[in-house]
Structure 1
C-alpha cells in the first residue's frame, strides 16, 4: 500500500485506527475452543467486526510464533483474510546484521518463502542502517522503526541525552538519522501514546512521516493529546488499540463488544480529523 493509498483510506473511513491482533489462546472465549483453528476463528470475527472502522491491522508475531507451526498457519490465514483496503503490519521488531535481516525481510515480504506478504514490518534500529536496508530492498514495502516506545523502561535508553547540553535525546538522534535512509513513503516510526509530552518535538523532527502509536486504550495513552500534536494533512497517524478491542468481552458477544469499542474510537478520530485536518 502506498502513502497516498493509506492516506486516502484514513479520510474515506474517517479513521486512523489500527487493530492489534495480539491474540492470546489463553484468553479466547470458551465457545471458540472447539473450532479447528480457534485463533483464526477469533481473528476472523474481530476483523469482520472492526473492518468498517479500521485502516490497519497489526498481528503481534510473538503470539503466533509461540504456538509453533499451528500459530504460523493461523497467522497466514489471518493475513489472507484482512481486507485489501487495510494496511498490514508485521509487529515483529526484527533487526540484525545484513544477512539475517535479509532473511527476516524475505519471511514477511516474500509470499513464496513463508507464505506471508505484509505491507510493513516493525524493526529495531539499534544495529544501524545496514540492519534496516534489507527490508527497504523490497519495493513498496514499509519499515516501521522503533523510536520512542510506550513501555516504562523506554527511558532507560531512548531518553538518554546525546549532546553535552542534553537538547537531543537518543530517540531524536535515531529519527533524525533514520529519516535519511528512506522517505516518508517507505518509513514510519513507533511513538507510544504514553509519550504525548514530546509529540510536538517529534512532529517538528518528522513533519511528513506516519507515526504508529501504540498505548491508547489498556495502556492509558490519550487519543486526544496524540491527535492534537500528531495529525497531519495526510493523516500521519496510525493509532493502535489491541487489548481494549480484542478482550472487550470474553463471552459469545465478544465480536459485538469489539465492534462497539472500534466504532467509539473511530467516532472520536473523525472529530479530530475534522478539527486538525482541512482535508477532512
Structure 2
C-alpha cells in the first residue's frame, strides 16, 4: 500500500484508527478458551466487529511468540484472514526488530515476504544497515521508533547534544534511508505536545501514535499537533477496544468503542477540511 492509497482509505472510512491486537490469552473471554485456537477466534471476532471503522490493525508480536509455535500459527492465521477479507486494511507487524544487516534481512523476509504484513516496527539504535533491509520491498513500510510513550523514553530519547535531542537525530538521519512513501515514525500519544517539534523535522511522514485510551493520551491533542495535509496519523488503541468487555458480548462492545473513536476522528478530519 502506498502513501496515497493509505490517505484514500482514511478519507473513505473517515477514520485514522489503528486497532492493536495485543491479544493476551490470559485476558480474552473465557468462553473462547474452549475453541481450537482461542487467540485467532478472538482476533477474528474483533476484526469483523471493528473493520468498518478501522484503517489499520497492529498485532503485537510478543503476545503471539510467547505462546511458541501455536502462537505463530495464530498470528499467521490472523494476518491472512485480515488481508483476505479486508484487503484495504493496512497491516502492521509490531515486532520492533532491528539487527545487523543479514539478520535484519531475515526478519524482513519473515514479516514482509512470508506473511502479508504491509509494515513492521523497527528499532533504529543500530543504525542504517540494520534498517535498510526492511526498505527493500515495494509498497512495504518501516515504522521507526522515534519517541515512545513509556516512562523509560526519558532515559535515552531526550539525551541532548549540540542542541539536538536523540529522537530528533533519529528523525533527521533516517530520512536519508527512506522517504514518506516507505517510512513512518512511532510517536507516543502521551507526548502529544512534542508532535509540533516532530513535524518541524518530518512534516510529511505518517506517524503511528500509540497511547490513546488506556494509556491516557488525548486524541484531540494528537490531531492538533500532529495532523498534516494528508492526515499523516495512524492512532492506535489496543486495550481500550479489544478488552473493553470480557463477556460473550466483547465484540459488540469493541465495535461500540471503535465507533466512538471513529466519530471523533471524523470530526477532526472535517475540522482540517480533509473530508
TM-score, reference length from structure 2: 0.98
User: Could you report, residue by residue, the CA deviation over 1:81-127 in whole angstroms, capped at 9, with x for unpaired residues?
Assistant: 1110100000000000001001000100112xxxx121000000000
Q: Is the 8 A contact 2:193 2:225 kept in 1?
A: no
Aligned counterparts of 2:139 and 2:7: Cα–Cα separation in 1? 15
Residue 87 (structure 2) aligns with:
84
Q: Is the 8 A contact 1:162 1:173 kept in 2?
A: no
Deviation at 1:179, TM superposition (A): 1.3
Deviation at 1:222, TM superposition (A): 0.6
Matched, 1:253 2:249: yes
Moved over 6 A (4+): none
Residue 263 (structure 2) aligns with:
267
Q: Is the 8 A contact 2:231 2:274 kept in 1?
A: no
- Unaligned regions of 5+ residues in structure 2, if any? none
Residue 45 (structure 2) aligns with:
45
Deviation at 1:162, TM superposition (A): 2.0
**Alignment equivalent of 2:213, drawn from 206, 211, 217:** 217
Segment drifting more, 147-156 vs 225-234: 225-234
Matches within 5 A, 1:101-116: 101-111=104-114, 116=115
Residue 18 (structure 2) aligns with:
18
Matched, 1:162 2:165: no
Q: Secondary structure at the match of 1:26?
A: coil
TM-score, reference length from structure 1: 0.96
Kindly report the root-mean-square deviation, in angstroms, between the aligned alpha carbons of the 2 structures: 0.7
Residue 179 (structure 2) aligns with:
183
User: Could you report, residue by residue, the CA deviation over 1:223-271 in whole angstroms, capped at 9, with x for unpaired residues?
Assistant: 0000111111111000000000010000011001100100000000001
- Unaligned regions of 5+ residues in structure 1, if any? none
Aligned counterparts of 2:39 and 2:192: Cα–Cα separation in 1? 33
